[in-house]
Structure 1
């Protein structure tokens, strides 16, 4: 220390009550006060020494910036993230509003501690939030506070240090047999012939066709939903005639055996399918926002832009579909909605009565994405290497540039041929035994 109160780093002055206050110049030239006053001058000197050491080591944080509320900082963080996919953006905003802000939103970022984060997570789980959702919220908060610590230097370290808090353990998903895939492709287009009419007393009357003749159901139903369920059940057990709309048959087959995501298959254009070469090209994908809007953008990952071989066993189904349901225009949607626009997942589920169909098949709870999982499992059984599988599935890896070299050549042809060999066996597997459970990769 120099003579008097002049120090090499910082200043100390005695306040009227007798306590000592330390101040110093930050890296930006602004004078700041130590966070507290001290009973003894030596304590103030030690505080300045520690602050100087943190500046030298790069661990010093601006106490003024640390006063910003977590809600405000996190909202800015989300708005400034480059390249977020629309659904990811919606998810982050929902997690922040639903599971972070109500608990920690008013807390100053600079005051957050591991103990506070631990209590927040315990409160989420205690209030019935699932482990999966809590893990998503934790990973978001960890990413936000990582920026606060490493880029903005508001925190000396990230307080999100709870081991395993960000882990999700995905449930095993069903894998269909080849026979089940073809059964599903046929069932999603079968509909009972009939109608439901509302009566004057707000009851509902059901009429159905049996052996080509329209008949009236003897029961009067209290709700339209009850009447529609009865009609579907009659179609299932043979008490009502059924029609067969085959417009979704090729969609199910292609999504499964080419390992396509919903957003990818619903965005396919006529020019993307080359039946002569036996390939489908994935260039873009639809994303449905939480607001209900559809956004056409790039696939889920860089590796999502790919060309995939189509097994010969389903080429004829695609040829029939294109000839029957697709406009003669290179830009026409291959699987359009009812009015010619993009096919929405909700509309597909309603028109195919997906939930009831998969329950009828003996695989209740089957998701459309499980078709891609089934295709991935079939591809994996071909015995090709991991990189070749990732190229077909559209997954990123550290050597993503190699993915495009495999499109429709070499290894991908081997995968396609292997799937074809399995499809050729479907006649020997007509018993449609229930699919096995396997972890989602």
Structure 2
């Protein structure tokens, strides 16, 4: 068909419908003819629309209008499967999808998820849950899934564009004193007291401790080598696997005051053989979060710590005490098994010898605090050596 000026059309086609309106069609880069989503009142309007499509194709801005017609739920669940995530991360993502994302977006196609819908969803989740951290995690997951959809050219642009919506603002966690750590270790019982000390002065994550073996412990060198982790899923299943990050694989030098604690635990409670678990329950079963949790809550109450003081807060205690003992930020990161690309570029190296120095500094701090507490309880004042030191 000729266009309105009598010239033969070089791109697309326009035809007049029985209704009197005009339909436009054009060939995409793949050669498939695609109709306009609407009809036009005049041939000029149809020509103008075809010109826009031709410009998009020439500039590389064209997007297949049928590409986004993919069910979000199907795409999101496939996205999780293809990531090869750790067991705990996969469990978290599936829970966030099930509880917070799919109820709103599960019935939509990818191209039906728009910025206004994302904003409304986030606002509704914040109002309904009052859980800012959970909503931030859910938003980051939704954004990551849709970013991949954009890379797959299923949508033109990611609709998650709320500045700062994925940022978590963590509240300042409490820390325990040296005396409170000792009290927790005593209250939780002899079988688990070393776990409290390793949590505070390692500082090791509970899932790292759950997978420690006899061969990972160097009694003469006072070292613990973290090779793997065994987090417990909500189903109760142990998910043995790699550490949280590559930085989690590390050799931790323990402060000397833990030598007796470590030796006694190896003699009395650890499984036999080099591959024996370091921590097992009374019936010889591997560490269980639920069983330990009951003991932890009773010990916490006995010591007088608040109900929101978690076992993970022992790590925060360890970070703080290690820093106070003179450790650098890099020293603390290496000791705790934390990773950061930015920190890796700007912080100085922390080798094994430096870790021994940090452990020694931590040892002096704890011993001094214990001596001070013992003097206060006995009613004795500072010794002549202490007075001379302070002079």
> TM-score, structure 1 length as denominator?
0.78
How far residue 289 of structure 1 moved from its aligned partner, in angstroms, is: 2.0
Match of 1:359 among 301, 306, 317: 301
Q: CA RMSD in A?
A: 2.4
1:379-394 equivalence runs, <5 A: 379-394=322-337
Residue 54 of structure 1 corresponds to: 56
Which blocks of at least 5 consecutive residues in structure 1 are unaligned?
A: 190-245, 433-441
- 8 Å CA contact 1:109–1:154 kept in 2: the answer is yes
Once the two structures are overlaid, the 10-residue window that deviates more, 419-428 or 23-32, is: 23-32
Residue 68 of structure 2 corresponds to: 66
- 8 Å CA contact 1:60–1:153 kept in 2: the answer is no
Compared with structure 1, are the counterparts of its residues 36 and 247 closer, same or farther at alpha carbon in structure 2 (3 Å cutoff)?
same
CA distance in 1, matches of 2:56, 2:32: 17
Once the two structures are overlaid, the 10-residue window that deviates more, 51-60 or 300-309, is: 51-60
Higher share of residues assigned helix: 2
1:72-221 equivalence runs, <5 A: 72-82=74-84, 84-149=85-150, 151-189=151-189
Is residue 281 of structure 1 aligned with residue 228 of structure 2?
no
CA distance in 2, matches of 1:47, 1:402: 53
Residue 357 of structure 2 corresponds to: 414
CA distance in 2, matches of 1:318, 1:19: 86
Which blocks of at least 5 consecutive residues in structure 2 are unaligned?
A: 378-391
- 3-state SS of paired residue (2:23): strand
Residue 208 of structure 1 corresponds to: none
Superposed CA offset, 1:267-306 (max 9, x none): 1000001011111100000022232211100000111001
Aligned residues: 371
Higher share of residues assigned strand: 1
Residue 313 of structure 2 corresponds to: 370
- 8 Å CA contact 1:61–1:156 kept in 2: the answer is yes
Is residue 338 of structure 1 aligned with residue 282 of structure 2?
yes
1:236-385 equivalence runs, <5 A: 246-350=190-294, 352=295, 354-364=296-306, 365-385=308-328
CA distance in 2, matches of 1:158, 1:412: 45
How far residue 329 of structure 1 moved from its aligned partner, in angstroms, is: 0.5
CA distance in 2, matches of 1:267, 1:392: 18
CA distance in 1, matches of 2:10, 2:356: 73
Residue 423 of structure 1 corresponds to: 366
CA distance in 1, matches of 2:320, 2:9: 70
Compared with structure 1, are the counterparts of its residues 249 and 19 closer, same or farther at alpha carbon in structure 2 (3 Å cutoff)?
same
- 8 Å CA contact 1:2–1:8 kept in 2: the answer is no
Superposed CA offset, 1:362-412 (max 9, x none): 222211111111111112223333323221111112276999x745x2321
Superposed CA offset, 1:302-344 (max 9, x none): 1100101011011111101101112331000011123323201
- 3-state SS of paired residue (1:22): strand
How far residue 265 of structure 1 moved from its aligned partner, in angstroms, is: 0.8
CA distance in 2, matches of 1:429, 1:28: 79
Match of 2:339 among 387, 393, 396: 396
Once the two structures are overlaid, the 10-residue window that deviates more, 104-113 or 292-301, is: 104-113
CA distance in 1, matches of 2:257, 2:286: 27
Compared with structure 1, are the counterparts of its residues 43 and 429 closer, same or farther at alpha carbon in structure 2 (3 Å cutoff)?
farther
Compared with structure 1, are the counterparts of its residues 327 and 78 closer, same or farther at alpha carbon in structure 2 (3 Å cutoff)?
closer
- 3-state SS of paired residue (2:239): strand
- 8 Å CA contact 2:271–2:280 kept in 1: the answer is no
Compared with structure 1, are the counterparts of its residues 320 and 402 closer, same or farther at alpha carbon in structure 2 (3 Å cutoff)?
farther
- 8 Å CA contact 2:330–2:350 kept in 1: the answer is no
Compared with structure 1, are the counterparts of its residues 108 and 315 closer, same or farther at alpha carbon in structure 2 (3 Å cutoff)?
same
Greater relative contact order, per chain length (Cα 8 Å cut-off, separation 6+): 1
How far residue 131 of structure 1 moved from its aligned partner, in angstroms, is: 1.5
How far residue 118 of structure 1 moved from its aligned partner, in angstroms, is: 0.8
How far residue 179 of structure 1 moved from its aligned partner, in angstroms, is: 1.4
Residue 45 of structure 2 corresponds to: 43
> TM-score, structure 2 length as denominator?
0.88
- 3-state SS of paired residue (1:176): coil
CA distance in 2, matches of 1:400, 1:8: 58
CA distance in 1, matches of 2:35, 2:298: 68
CA distance in 2, matches of 1:126, 1:424: 49
Residue 220 of structure 1 corresponds to: none
CA distance in 2, matches of 1:7, 1:395: 64
How far residue 21 of structure 1 moved from its aligned partner, in angstroms, is: 2.0
How far residue 31 of structure 1 moved from its aligned partner, in angstroms, is: 2.2
